[in-house]
Amino acid sequence: MKNLVASLLIGSLAQASWAAPASPVIDIYKSPTCGCCNKWIDHLKANGFTVTSHDTDNVAQHKYRLGVPPGYGSCHTAEVGGYVIEGHVPTREIKRLLKEKPRARGLVVPGMPIGSPGMETGDHKDPYDVFLVNRNGSTRTYAKY
């Protein structure tokens, strides 16, 4: 964690961008064959994120490492600003998270709800919740869609 903070500081110095970072860097772990993961990446890029994508056959190890609670998993796992982002989370909520900086592990959208970013099929939308994962692994609703 200290290394992460240090590298973030160095990164900020290199870019001389102490003011609100306009383009947050997000790391994503996904299987090489995941199509909806790529569509979610498109959603991130379209909303100003800089994406580093890592193909892996073991996404589960990153869910475990980053503290995604059992039963809350999805197709891809991402990391931004020290938070975990699991599944098809809308960038609006990621930006809110980075602004509010709650003491939490991060955000999850379990499963792959139809109509979430990267899961669009026509006009159909399933209702879904974005959950905040607390430090102790419990969750609460962060936003409803």
Which position has the token pair 């589960």?
A: 60
Cβ nearer to Cu ion, comparing 36 with 130: 36
Q: Is 36 in the site for Cu ion (CB under 5 A)?
A: yes
Spatial neighbors of 49 by CB under 8 A, at least 6 apart, are 23, 24, 25, 26, 80, 91, 94
Number of neighbours of residue 28 by Cβ within 10 angstroms: 24
DSSP three-state, residue 59: helix
Q: Is 78 in the site for Cu ion (CB under 5 A)?
A: no
Q: Tell me the closest approach of the beta carbon of residue 99 to Cu ion, in angstroms.
A: 25
Dist CA 59 CA 29 (whole Å): 6
Spatial neighbors of 48 by CB under 8 A, at least 6 apart, are 22, 23, 24, 91
Window contacting Cu ion (CB under 5 A); options: 32-40, 58-66, 89-97, 129-137: 32-40
Cβ nearer to Cu ion, comparing 8 with 114: 114
Q: Is 28 in the site for Cu ion (CB under 5 A)?
A: no
Q: Is 112 in the site for Cu ion (CB under 5 A)?
A: yes
Q: Tell me the closest approach of the beta carbon of residue 132 to Cu ion, in angstroms.
A: 20
Q: Is 107 in the site for Cu ion (CB under 5 A)?
A: no
Binding site for Cu ion (CB under 5 A): 36, 75, 112
